[in-house]
Amino acid sequence: MSAVTAPAQAPTSRRLSTLDRWLPLWIGFAMVAGILLGRFIPGVSPLLASLEVGGISVPIALGLLVMMYPVLAKVRYDKVAAVTGDKKLLISSLVLNWLAGPALMFALAWMFLPDLPEYRTGLIIVGLARCIAMVVIWNDLACGDREAAAVLVAINSVFQVVAFSLLGWFYLTVLPGWLGLDTQGLDFSVGAIALNVLIFLGIPLLAGFASRFIGERHKGRDWYEEKFLPKLGPWALYGLLFTIVLLFALQGEQVTSRPLDVARIALPLLAYFAVMWFVGLFAGKALGLGYARSSTLAFTAAGNNFELAIAVAIGTFGAASGQALAGVVGPLIEVPVLVGLVYVSLWAARKWFHTDPYTGERLSS
């Protein structure tokens, strides 16, 4: 790639749209709005809880689908095959997601919450639920590799169906028993996990692929990328904000009525998201993956499937359980932390990778 001088590049804030630039503020408003709705309008939370089919909240599912479709519609599916040949990326992602992530959350949960078994179990469940949804938003905002993100998310979805129950049994029953610690069981259907993956990944992935295939075939790639995608793009963030409002409305009363518990749950989550993200980014840099794929590796390693974690906690332990509260606190911490890491990632692109994140061009030293 040709080198360009750093001064010629526009500041990061100018390269973002108004919606993207003020995203932390909009997310903050959405979180506060959701908590206030759940806290001061008693009928909202029971109404949302009642709108479930097969343990999946219909309104939240709609929000996630609206959020994911525009990002997956941007993926250049003709480039996906090249990603699957990158063994360094695929192996490092599997190691971070299915070995390092659950082990780190297990260690942090026991370190920070040795006297609170319900919250500890909820955190371990969060660590087992690897991200297949919201990570596409963070990756896109950070100018990560969309094709790599699509592949890694698909791999996570397959492993989630196969490994979630097994890892839950290992980290909640077997390993604590070996270490002489308290044990707790986890009873959750593999079919329910597969349904979760099908809805939150399968539907938007199929829609995104179909949009690009039909759009390019009938209108051409220039029309698709210059006319269609710009109009579709903002809907990803609209879906994100809508989902955040619903999530916090669903558990707003619990969050506000137990602030000290929320704070204790938040500490290991903060450590987890930060450690996983930085390990992923530096691992990508050490492996020579370049900025875009290193950023994708970092976000896919740090993000979690909060919808699955909450569904498992509620289905196994009940909606009012401490495990469910820990699951709800997950996105409460994950959303603002990973939004912040988007800006750190854009900064790191220039400082650590000497790359313009928007063009992929090398910057001169």
Residue at 6 is within a domain: no
What pLDDT shows up at residue 7? 37
| pTM, rounded to two decimals | 0.78
Output the domain CATH number for residue 245: 1.20.1530.20
Beta strands in 20-101 (DSSP E): 52-53, 56-57
Report yes or no on 359 lying in a domain. Answer: no
Six-digit token string for 50: 């009642």
In a domain, 299, yes or no: yes
Q: Is position 107 within any domain? A: yes
Residue type, 318: G
Spatial CA neighbour of 350 closest among 170, 150, 143: 143
User: Cβ distance 272 to 105 under 8 Å?
Assistant: yes
What is the pLDDT, as a whole number, of residue 58? 82
pLDDT of amino acid 86: 86
The residues that bridge with 56 in the sheet, in sequence order, are 53
What is the torsion angle, in degrees rounded to the nearest 10, for the CA atoms of residue 57, residue 62, residue 64 and residue 66?
Answer: 180
User: What's the CA gap between 96 and 303, in Å, rounded?
Assistant: 11
The label of the residue with tokens 């650590």 reads 352
**Is residue 364 assigned to a domain?**
no
Residue 4 lies in a domain: no
User: What pLDDT is recorded for position 5?
Assistant: 34
Query: Where in the chain does DSSP place strands (E)?
Result: 52-53, 56-57
Render each residue's pLDDT in the chain as its tens digit; 365 residues.
333 333 334 444 445 566 666 777 887 888 889 888 887 887 777 777 677 776 667 887 888 788 878 878 888 888 777 787 889 999 999 999 999 999 999 999 999 999 888 899 999 999 988 887 778 888 988 999 988 988 898 888 778 877 888 888 889 888 988 988 877 666 656 666 677 677 777 888 889 889 999 999 999 999 998 899 888 888 888 888 888 888 778 767 777 777 888 899 999 999 999 999 999 999 999 999 999 999 999 999 998 887 778 767 766 776 667 887 888 788 778 888 998 999 999 999 999 999 999 888 888 75
Q: Does residue 10 fall inside a structural domain?
A: no
Q: Report the chain's terminal Cα–Cα distance, integer Å.
A: 14
Identify the CA nearest to 14 among candidates 358, 339, 361.
358
Among 34, 102, 59, 125, which residue's Cα sits nearest to residue 322?
125
355: DSSP letter:
B
Confidence (pLDDT) at 14 = 44
Does residue 358 lie within any of the structural domains? Answer: no
- Beta partners for 326? none
Confirm if 356 and 363 have CB atoms less than 8 A apart.
yes
In whole angstroms, give the CA distance from residue 296 to residue 69. 18
Helical packing angle, 259-286 and 117-128, nearest 10°? 30
Residue 358: count other Cβ atoms within 10 Å of its Cβ. Answer: 14
- Using DSSP's 3-state secondary structure scheme, residue 43 falls into coil
Show the domain range for 148. Answer: 16-351
Tell me if 239 sits within 8 A of 73, measured CB to CB: no
Is 134 in a helix, a strand, or coil?
Answer: coil
Asked if residues 362 and 1 have their Cβ atoms less than 8 Å apart, the reply is yes
Q: How many domains does the chain have?
A: 1
**SS3 call for 362:** strand
